[in-house]
Structure 1
Amino acid sequence: MTPTPRLLGCVAAGGAVGAVLRWSTGELVPDGSGFAWTTFAINVTGSFLLALLPALAVVRRSPAWAAALGPGVLGGFTTLSAYSERTRALLADDRVAVAAGYAAGTLVACLAVIALADALASAWTRDPESGR
Structure 2
Amino acid sequence: MTPLLVVLGAAVGAPARYLTDRLVQSRHATGFPWGTFTINVVGSFVLGTVAGAATSPAVTALVGTGFCGALTTYSTFGWETVGLAREGRRLLAVLNAVGSVMAGLGAAGLGLAVGTTL
Structure 1 length normalisation: TM-score? Answer: 0.79
Higher relative contact order (CA 8 A, sep 6+): 2
Matched, 1:54 2:48: no
Rounded Cα–Cα distance in structure 1 between residues aligned with 2:64 and 2:78: 21
**Consecutive unaligned residues in structure 1, runs of 5 or more:** 1-5, 126-132
Matched, 1:94 2:88: yes
Matched, 1:25 2:52: no
Q: Percent identity?
A: 35
Aligned length: 116
Equivalent AA in structure 2 for residue 90 of structure 1:
L
Matched, 1:78 2:75: no
Matched, 1:39 2:29: no
**Consecutive unaligned residues in structure 2, runs of 5 or more:** none
Q: Which has the higher helix share?
A: 2
Structure 2 length normalisation: TM-score? Answer: 0.88
Deviation at 1:33, TM superposition (A): 5.8
Equivalent AA in structure 2 for residue 23 of structure 1:
Y
Rounded Cα–Cα distance in structure 1 between residues aligned with 2:114 and 2:8: 28
Which of structure 1's runs of 4+ aligned residues deviate more than 3 A?
A: none
Judge which range, 20-29 or 89-98, deviates more.
Answer: 20-29
